[in-house]
Structures are given as structure tokens and as C-alpha cells.
Amino acid sequence: MHSHRVSTVEIDEERLAKELEQAKEFDFAEPYDEFLCSRPARRQGQIMLWAPGGDNGDGIIKHYDDGCASGVTEYGRQLPYLVQIMEESLSMSHLRFARLAALTSNVLVPHRDYVEFDTAAATDRRPAHRLHIPLITFPDCYFSDDNVVFQMAAGEVWFLDVTKVHSAANLSDELRLHLIVDFVDTEDHDELLTLGTEPERVIPDSRVVHRPRLPDAARQALYGLADVVDPGNLREVFGLVARAGFQYDGGENFFWRTIAEIRDRVADPAMAARLAELDDYFLCARTT
């Protein structure tokens, strides 16, 4: 199933703004730094609001104790209105993790999630479904699901199929804040919310970003990055390709097809091998 809008939550904007100003002073950490195409800015990253054992932890979901029931964390207790939004909107019995995630002037490497979990593990403990609720967002904030680029509005609830290749971008200097929640497995996604849900599981056309076709000259210029890519600028090279995918329609699997073309043109065998390893890491075989 592809990503789609599920519902909308009613938010007291004054109460939310007050809590988010408080949250901006918390110690945001970026446990998945390797997914960012630029070095993380101050207050970029995430804080856990709900997690197994109520543990703030290090933010890497594979590191939490599978044997513990989930509960509110120290950060969550300091943000009671955000917890109230969750309690009034979500099935808390299915909720495994909830994070407040900040992104500023950055693009994520297109990737798949949940690949680090054993699919044979108990489904009542393993994260299997993800929802996003944008709290602060801007016109230059985007998501991608395969080759579809779209935008979410504040207060909307979105199901993201993170088992498919996806990415996110904030091309502004403003701080984007999302509530990201992960649930254990269930056959019916509607069971994850206590809100009314939309009848169609689609990305509304009003939210789709219709991009121009990537010019052939631009595609060849990206392939030409093979002449300059090295371990020191790899993050920047990934960023150039990822940003192009949000600005232009380069076709299915644009990012990783482009990286493969760069890899095939690289003169250094070690660099080519590293690019192949990263393809596997982001799409198939993470262990953490």
C-alpha cells in the first residue's frame, strides 16, 4: 500500500505553539545522521515522547527493549498537550514509538525503513506502521513515495508506507516539526486511529507536486559527478541528486539509478564499492 492521507486532527494552535517553543530548547539528537545529505543543524533531529519502558533512549528504535510495554518518556511528560493529541487521536494500545522530529535545510537519502527488524519477530512488539502528523511545516517541505512527490499540511494525519523507497526534504531555513508515530502490526490501518478516516486511501491531487521532466543535460551533469565524488564530499553528492529528485521528475527509482550510473563511471574501485554498499544499506540490509 502506498502512502496516503488518513485524517485530520483538531489542534489548539495557541497551546501547541507554546509547547513547541518549549520543545525547541530540548536536547534534540540525530541518531540517523547518515540519512542526512547535510550536516545536522542545531535543534535538528528528534526527541522521544513515547517508547518501550518510557525510555528516552538514543532514538534508534532497534535499541529499545522489545520486552517492555511502551509508555510516556521524560520529554513526553513535559509536553502534555502533545501527549493529549495522541491520546485523543490514536489507538494507544497499538502505539510503540512517538517522536518529535525536526528538520531544517536538509534532504534525506531515499531509503526503506523497518528492514532492520526480523519479520518473524512478534508482531505485538515490532514497529510495522508509521503515521506522520505535521505540526509546523512550510511550502518548501516535501515528501516522496517512490516517484510521487507530495506535501502534507499541518494537522493532517498521513500513513507512510516506509517499506517502500521514500525521502523527505526541507528546502527552507525554517524549522519543520512533525509528530512521527510507529505502531505494532494490525490488519486494518483504521484501527490505529480513534478519529474518523477518509474514505479513499490516496494522496489527494491537491497535495501532489507536479514536477517538470528532468532535462537530459541535467541528467548527464549528475552522472558527471563521478569525476569528483570522494569520501569527503559523498554526502554533498547524494544531496545534489536527492534535491534534483524533488525539483524534477527523473523517472522511477531516480536517486538510486543515478547513483548506480555514477558508480559505473567512477575510476576508483574503492569508491565504486562504497557506493554499492550504501545502496544495500539504505534499501536492504541495515542491522541498526
Q: What is the pLDDT of residues 104-134, one digit of tens each?
A: 999 999 999 864 444 545 456 667 789 999 9
pLDDT, position 118: 47
Secondary structure of residue 222 in the 3-state scheme:
helix
Q: How many residues does the chain have?
A: 288
Report CA 253 to chain centroid distance, whole Å: 17
pLDDT, position 61: 77
Q: What is the distance between the alpha carbons of residues 226 and 31, in angstroms, rounded to a whole number?
A: 29
pLDDT, position 259: 98
Q: Whole-model pTM?
A: 0.90
pLDDT, position 56: 85
pLDDT, position 122: 44
**Domains of the chain from N-terminus onward:** 4-207 (2.60.120.330), 216-283 (1.10.1720.10)
Q: What is the distance between the alpha carbons of residues 97 and 180, in angstroms, rounded to a whole number?
A: 8
Non-local (6+) Cβ contacts of 249 within 8 A are 147, 211, 212, 213, 214
Query: Mean pLDDT by 10-residue block, N- to C-terminus, for the chain (288 residues)?
Result: 89 95 88 82 83 85 83 96 96 93 94 62 67 96 96 96 92 94 81 88 95 98 98 96 98 98 98 96 72
Report CA 44 to chain centroid distance, whole Å: 13
pLDDT, position 178: 97
